[in-house]
Amino acid sequence: MARKSQDATSGPRNHPSSCHNCRRRKIKCDLARPHCRQCLRSSAFKDCEYREDGPTTAEKLEEQIAILEARIEQLQKPERERLVLQAPYYSQMACSSFIPSSGTLEATLLSSETPSSPPTPGLDILIDRFLEYGETFGFFLHIQRFREAGRSRKGQSQATIESSPDSYTVLPILRAAVSLWAHHLHATTLNIAQSTLNQREEARLLALVTQLRSSTRPFPTCPNVLLQHIQVEVLLSSYFFRNALFLKGEYHIATAVALVQGGRFFCQATEAVHSIRQAERVNAFWTVLTMNNVWTTADGAPSNFASETDIEVPWPIDLNSAKWNEVSPNRSEPARIANFLAGKCGNATSVTALRAKASILFEQAANLSSRFRPNADGNYLHAFLLEFTSTNSLIDQFLFSLPPQDTFSPQDGLLIRCLAHVAIIELHNPFIGPLAVEASRTRALDAARATVDDLVESSQACSTGMVDPIIGTLCMATCQVFFSALTHGMLQNMEEEVDAVSAVERVLNVMPTLASGSKLVESQTHAIRDTFQALCCVPRRYTANASIVIS
């Protein structure tokens, strides 16, 4: 029997309370020190703390969260008019002004509940610019509802929001994540001096999101809170991939998958729910699935989704279009991936649905290609050939059925078509190397040329840098086809060789526009350029008559 402390035997007027963990779990505590029996027996609760010993770790974290939320409110509200003294050392002081003193934080916390303060115009403009391209980077929530709720600045904590599940309030962590993206995209328009200050603010916001994320519950139960946490994970994943931080990007997309699966977003909701929330739930699932398909395939890693996952939700809709509510997610047929791969595409033509379909084809083609075994038995090769032919036809059918290009934004159309074309390249990849199957060689080269044409055409209409960061990987896969053809002597004549060299040059000419602000696309541009320069130094059959100019 664990021995109780002498403090635990004091009179009833000073009766000690249970430890923090037992109070939270609502179980009886034996009040033993330094650890009660319940905490000793638990594998998860090791920090046995008593209120009479001072603030617990959880209470300290809650206080830090309140301070950070207050800091968000302070940044989103203009400073009150006051007399400003000119400090002779202002330039040195400005660098440390991001972190306020404890007194300032207390004042901010008290004033954060004042609803009369208008929002910061500058930040709202930056956020609006991000939301304009938000879907490109994984924003799946209803933009107008988010914009209205975000500008209300209620400053409610997650616990308060969870107690009112029917209300809609933007969580501080989501506001911070969107502000992080807003400043990140704003950096492409700044000069060097402005960029330095913006980078500091971006770093501070990233630290804030990380701190808020580590201080929240592992799995929220409120539907709105869960949706917003999934949105945060998606935005962080896209942010880290764009900045060439692969491990962090993979971690956050894996977390988003875990939240989606834990919330059973792949199942059709049975209860009556708000139509916007249900549409957001469906779009959240498909956005996470699309990002998982694209990035795990690009990395050659296994999918975070279980292969036996039975999808019961319909294809996503364009939630932010004017006619989104004409299609009810509750009445639509389930979008089963097996049916799609069997050629039953359905009539879902929303941009989000087409992105999802293109990502499924991309993953399927790469997965099938990796399973090719030239020395396998006849039964295996026969089954492989059937699946290969079916997938090849399905990609052709998908490309043929795409709506006109003016149906999409330039960046959406570029991503959808490039994913499909590179899916063809991935599918035929085993047969364009040493095996040198003529039909596959021609098919891969045609797909690569089509990708180059799309890149050149769409880059002129795309805003600088406002493209999905996976575009850089797709550019590299496209150029690799031309590099392989030039290296292995797969081209038939000088005209084809000049055409291959020209195609790589065209890609290199447009990639700086696509790479603006994206370290990942920028690094892949350098990799393509370096490979191209090295390849052009190697004598080949027709090089003497080919004019090769490296920009």
Burial (Cβ within 10 Å: 0-12, 13-18, ≥19) of residue 343: exposed
Answer yes or no: CATH 1.25.40 is held by domain 371-545: yes
- Cβ contacts of 346 within 8 Å, gap of 6 or more: 315, 333, 335, 339, 340
Residue 2 confidence (pLDDT) above 80: no
pLDDT at 47: 74
* Mean pLDDT to the nearest integer, 191-206: 81
Quote the CA–CA distance of 40 and 54 in Å, as a whole number. 21
pLDDT at 228: 92
Q: What is the pTM of this model?
A: 0.74
Quote the CA–CA distance of 332 and 442 in Å, as a whole number. 40
Quote the CA–CA distance of 323 and 317 in Å, as a whole number. 10
* Mean pLDDT to the nearest integer, 2-18: 50
Q: Where exactly are the structural domains of the chain?
A: 6-54, 58-77+109-282, 371-545
Bridge partners (DSSP) listed for residue 4: 32
Assign 3-class secondary structure to 262-298: HCCCCCCCCCCCCHHHHHHHHHHHHHHHHHHHHHHHH
Q: Are 423 and 358 in contact (CB under 8 A)?
A: yes
- Which stretch, 102-111, 198-207, 230-239, 367-376, has highest mean pLDDT? 230-239
Quote the CA–CA distance of 543 and 497 in Å, as a whole number. 8
Q: Which residue has the higher pLDDT, 176 or 338?
A: 176
Assign 3-class secondary structure to 331-364: CCCCCCHHHHHCCCCCCCCCHHHHHHHHHHHHHH
Topology agreement, domain 6-54 and domain 371-545: no
* Mean pLDDT to the nearest integer, 102-119: 34
Q: Report the half-sphere exposure of 236 (CA within 13 A, side-chain side).
A: 28
Quote the CA–CA distance of 16 and 50 in Å, as a whole number. 9
Q: Which residue has the higher pLDDT, 466 or 234?
A: 234
Phi and psi for 32 in degrees, rounded to 5? Answer: -70, 150
- Cβ contacts of 162 within 8 Å, gap of 6 or more: 220, 221, 222, 225
Residue 265 CA to its chain's centroid (Å): 17
**CATH number of this structure's domain 6-54, picked from the four choices 2.60.120.330, 2.70.50.60, 4.10.240.10, 3.40.50.720:** 4.10.240.10
Instruction: Share the mean pLDDT of the chain.
Output: 77
Residue 428 confidence (pLDDT) above 90: yes
